[in-house]
Amino acid sequence: MVGVGERVILVLAAALCLGAPSVAQAQDMEPRAYANAPVGLNFLVAGYLYTRGGVAFDNLPVTNPQLTTSSALLAYARVLGLWGKSAKFSLIVPYGDLSGTAQFAGQPMSRDITGFSDPVFKLAVNFYGAPALSLKDYARYRQDLIIGASLRVSAPIGQYDRTKAVNLGTNRWSFKPEVGISKALGRWTLEATAAATLYTDNNDYFNGNSRAQDPLYSLEGHAIYSFTRGIWGSLDATYYNGGRTTLNGTLNGDLQQNWRFGGTLAFPVSVQNSIKLYASSGVSARTGNNFDLAGIAWQYRWGGGL
């Protein structure tokens, strides 16, 4: 039989899973985004992310993209108590390399750059089923139904060259409000989220052009299974629709209607350390921007009485 202290350690090992932003931030899949954790707990995450194929860059339109990215990710998160409910604030900073080929206006082009992508800030608040708890009280907590919401903001301070059609940064803000629900059923946890990513205009796109983009709507689902010793795995899926762009007032035929499937595996190494492996692939894409993604992340926890 697992004691209270050991149970806290095992649950903390799987308490938080930060999404790893790539150049396709609207397509991230993030299991356990609304999982409860003790107030005051801090997380430091370092990881590596690789993508290959028709990567869906926010700063396109280009066609036939065959691009690869290798990104180092550094993130910080803290569990908060807001209005008596648990909340999480996180900051993610990606730095990486992009290389490959694509076509712009029918002409072939190549790109090979290294630099920072746009950083991401996120605040998630649980409104039901996840009270703000100390580490001692958290030992008696059992998840049932959690309902929460979040706002994710991407700031336009990544690498950007106005003379290039493909960049690591986007030169515009994006805002992603989301609502989520998580239901525990024994060792299984089922999750679903609905979100819309909103974009400001890029008025200095590729030699001074003006580019706007419609909202990109997404639905996401996860089936998570908790093994022994704090190990958990997840089957992940997302569908996104919209995001049609306008260039200098002319509407483009680039409506997105895409499906992605993937998986996540997380396991503890010690009380304060854990590792997460994740991968996903596009299985259906209206605009030809399917790509493969794989990553690994190390997570260190401290504070909150741990």
**Each residue's pLDDT tens digit, 72-120:** 999 999 999 999 999 999 999 999 898 887 766 667 777 788 999 999 9
pLDDT over 70 for what percent of the chain? 84
Per the structure block, which two tokens stand in for 91? 């900051």
Give the helix/strand (H/E) hosting 198. Answer: strand 188-199
What is the per-residue pLDDT for 102?
Answer: 72
| pLDDT band per the 50, 70, 90 thresholds, residue 2 | very low
Between the CA of residue 235 and those of 44, 59, 250, what are the distances in Å? Answer: 24, 29, 39
What is the per-residue pLDDT for 305?
Answer: 83
Q: What is the DSSP string of 46-99?
A: EEEEEEEES---TT---EEEEEEEEEEEEEEEEEEEETTEEEEEEEEEEEEEEE
Question: Around 235, how many Cα atoms within 13 Å sit in the side-chain half-sphere?
Answer: 4
What is the per-residue pLDDT for 22?
Answer: 45
**pTM reported for the whole predicted model:** 0.90
Helix (H, G, I), strand (E, B) or coil at 191: strand
Max distance between CA atoms of the chain, in angstroms, equals 66
Nearest to 177 by CA among 155, 214, 148, 151: 151
Rounded Cα distance between 139 and 9, Å, is 9
Between the CA of residue 90 and those of 63, 82, 216, what are the distances in Å? Answer: 34, 15, 22
Within 8 A by CB and 6+ apart from 9, the residues are: 230, 268, 271
* pLDDT tens-place string over residues 17-56: 665 554 455 557 899 999 999 999 999 999 999 988 765 4
Rounded Cα distance between 149 and 144, Å, is 17
Choose which CATH entry (3.40.50.300, 2.40.128.130, 2.60.40.1180, 2.170.130.10) describes domain 4-303: 2.40.128.130
- For the CA atoms of the chain, what is the radius of gyration? 20
Between the CA of residue 15 and those of 74, 129, 248, 292, what are the distances in Å? Answer: 18, 15, 46, 27
Whether the Cβ atoms of residue 154 and residue 25 lie closer than 8 Å to each other = yes
Partners of residue 268 on adjacent β-strands: 274
Between the CA of residue 233 and those of 21, 103, 175, 264, 282, what are the distances in Å? Answer: 20, 38, 29, 5, 20
What is the per-residue pLDDT for 257?
Answer: 87
| pLDDT band per the 50, 70, 90 thresholds, residue 15 | low
Per the structure block, which two tokens stand in for 12? 């903390």
Pairwise pLDDT comparison (106 vs 225), residue with the higher score: 225
What is the per-residue pLDDT for 306?
Answer: 78
- Domain assignments of the chain as residue spans, ordered by start: 4-303
| pLDDT band per the 50, 70, 90 thresholds, residue 1 | very low
Per the structure block, which two tokens stand in for 115? 């630099």
Amino acid at 49: L
Q: Is the pLDDT of residue 57 over 60?
A: no
* pLDDT tens-place string over residues 150-207: 999 999 999 999 888 778 899 999 999 999 999 999 999 999 999 999 999 999 988 8
